[in-house]
Structure 1
Amino acid sequence: MQKYIITGGPGAGKSTLLNALHQQGYPVSEEVSRVIIIEEHTKAGNCLPWVDLSCFAQKALARMVHNYQHTATTPYTTFFDRGIPDILAYLKDAKHPIAPAYIQAVNDYRYNPLVFLAPPWEEIYVNDSERWQTFEEAAALFHAIKETYLSFNYTLLQLPKTSVEERVNFILSHI
């Protein structure tokens, strides 16, 4: 079935939106980055984006490919909290080299061409143990993410800055 990405800069309400979609019965794939950061903190590991971005990106890619493949045969529409192109955007924003394997993965694992984009939203932005960026850095990442998805011929539909329920209805009206 269809695989839709909900993406955008950090702190734009993606996870909250995905939780609401999940509560309505839709399968969701949680944000891989957050899971890896929590795991690394738990074991005092160094595979963190602000310590070893190469290691972190490799782990994120492996998990995202696994999540994509895991939903390959499901008959249900699935929503992903970020997609493989997000890794390229983060690497690009950090001025880090992008290995050909990342580009190959973006081309091999295509999601629905319509991607939902959560814009920077300062009023709801909050730092936590997995979100270390300033709002300005989050906004810069938003632009890198937007450019990356466009460069891979995805169609971006910006989410309105409105209630979670209205965002859910917005998404469901476009799929």
Structure 2
Amino acid sequence: MQQKIVLIGGPGTGKTSVINELTNRGCFCMPEISREVTLEAQKKGIDQLFLTEPLLFSKMLLEGREKQFLEANKSEQEVVFFDRGIPDVHAYMDYFKTDYPATFFEKCNLYKYTKIFHFSPWKDIHITDNERYESFEETTEIDRFLMKSYTDLGYAIINVPFGSLKERTDFVINSLACEL
């Protein structure tokens, strides 16, 4: 049975760096798609789509993450890593106190992951850029909403310790090794 592994945490916590390292090591990974959605909107003159039209942005993310999940199902890979999962979408909507359709939550119950690795906010590595505008304080608050979303869905959360990129990536791989 295929394992679907999700890396979660607030913005700037090191998830994408670990996903990139997992890819470099030959693992099958699904990248974060929010930057792609944001960059497409910026090409159309919308600086931060999530801030101007959060529901549209979130619908696009939900569709993209659902597509990734289905692509993973079609693959013959034993393990697939995801940079964020479907529950992240409603966690962000809850953080921003934005109403959303029931389908956002229903999709979380329809598409289930095997393991969830959590990357805690870490001030030493947190940076902002064109697509990541959240302050460290906002990252910490978003992280609380993410943790609540996943635990409310019944997921056990595995916390990834602070450390070098190699140490964090090794931790994720070694945590799975006993099950592969």
Q: Give the TM-score normalised by structure 1.
A: 0.96
Q: Does 1:53 align with 2:54?
A: yes
Q: Is the Cα contact below 8 Å between 1:47 and 1:56 reproduced in 2?
A: no
Pairwise CA distance, 1:154:
0.7
The one-letter code matched in structure 1 to 2:108 is: V
What is the CA-CA distance between 1:74 and the residue it aligns to?
1.7
Are 2:92 and 1:98 aligned?
no
Query: What SS does the corresponding residue of 2:56 show, helix, strand or coil?
Result: helix
Question: Partner residue of 2:160?
Answer: 159
- The 5 A counterparts of 1:23-172 are 23-45=24-46, 48-76=49-77, 77-112=79-114, 114-172=115-173
Structure 1 residue 97, shift from structure 2 partner: 1.4
CA shift, 1:168, in A, is 1.0
Q: Distance in 1 between matches of 2:62 and 2:47?
A: 17
C-alpha deviation, 1:45, in angstroms? 3.9
**Alignment correspondent of 2:21:** 20
Q: Deviations over 1:69-121 (max 9, x none)?
A: 01102222111000000001100000111311011110111111x20000000
What is the distance in 2 between the residues matched to 1:83 and 1:33? 11
Q: Which residue identity lines up with residue 164 of structure 1 in the other structure?
A: L
Q: What secondary structure is seen at the aligned counterpart in 1 of 2:39?
A: helix
SS in 2 for 1:25: coil
- What is the TM-score when the length of structure 2 is the normalising length? 0.93
Q: Counterpart amino acid of 1:32?
A: I
Alpha-carbon contact 2:42-2:48 (below 8 Å) kept: no
**Alignment coverage as a number of residue pairs:** 174
**Is the contact between residue 55 and residue 100 of structure 2 (CA under 8 Å) also seen in structure 1?**
no
Calculate percent identity across the aligned residue pairs.
29
2-structure distance, mates of 1:127, 1:169? 26
Q: Say what the alpha-carbon RMSD is for the aligned residues.
A: 1.1
In 2, distance between residues paired with 1:5 and 1:67? Answer: 12
